[in-house]
């Protein structure tokens, strides 16, 4: 087995490892989302959850070498930011859009 092939196998294992790490991180965030004592803990857990989901989609894109996953990651980042901002505004002012 040549060194380049061995390193390609190591790289594929690194992609698997990163995906496993992101999956466990999403599990931790879900536990905090269910358990969280206050509402702001739940919002923070949701923010962590969408960042980890975006990273999982990026590693899926690395694994399959296609650019379709990148667009999904971009959309998740965009809508996750808007959702976190709306929830934080709701906790701050009790309404999302100022009258």
> How many angstroms separate the CA atoms of 50 and 10, rounded?
28
Interacting positions 14-33 with other proteins (CB under 8 A) = 14-15, 17-22, 24-26, 28-29, 31-32
Residue for token pair 């690395």? 62
Q: Does residue 96 interact with other proteins by CB under 8 A?
A: no
> How many angstroms separate the CA atoms of 35 and 4, rounded?
47
Q: Does residue 72 interact with other proteins by CB under 8 A?
A: no
Helix (H, G, I), strand (E, B) or coil at 19: helix
Q: Tokens for 91?
A: 């906790």
Number of neighbouring beta carbons within 10 Å of residue 98: 6
Q: Which listed residue (1, 5, 98, 99) binds other proteins by CB under 8 A?
A: 5
Give the residue with the Cβ less far from other proteins, 38 or 97.
38
Q: Which residues contribute to the site for other proteins (CB under 8 A)?
A: 4-5, 7-8, 10-12, 14-15, 17-22, 24-26, 28-29, 31-32, 38-41, 43-45, 47-48, 51-52, 54-55, 58-59, 61-65, 67, 70, 73-74, 77-78, 81, 84-85, 88-89, 91-92
């Amino acid at each position: 087995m040549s060194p380049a092939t061995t390193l390609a196998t190591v790289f594929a294992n690194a992609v698997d490892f990163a995906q496993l790490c992101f999956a466990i991180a999403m599990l931790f965030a879900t536990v905090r989302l269910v358990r969280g004592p206050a509402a702001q803990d739940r919002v923070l857990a949701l923010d962590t959850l969408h960042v980890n989901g975006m990273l999982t989609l990026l590693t899926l894109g690395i694994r399959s070498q296609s650019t379709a996953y990148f667009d999904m990651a971009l959309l998740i980042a965009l809508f996750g930011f808007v959702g976190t901002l709306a929830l934080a505004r709701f906790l701050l002012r009790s309404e999302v859009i100022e009258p």
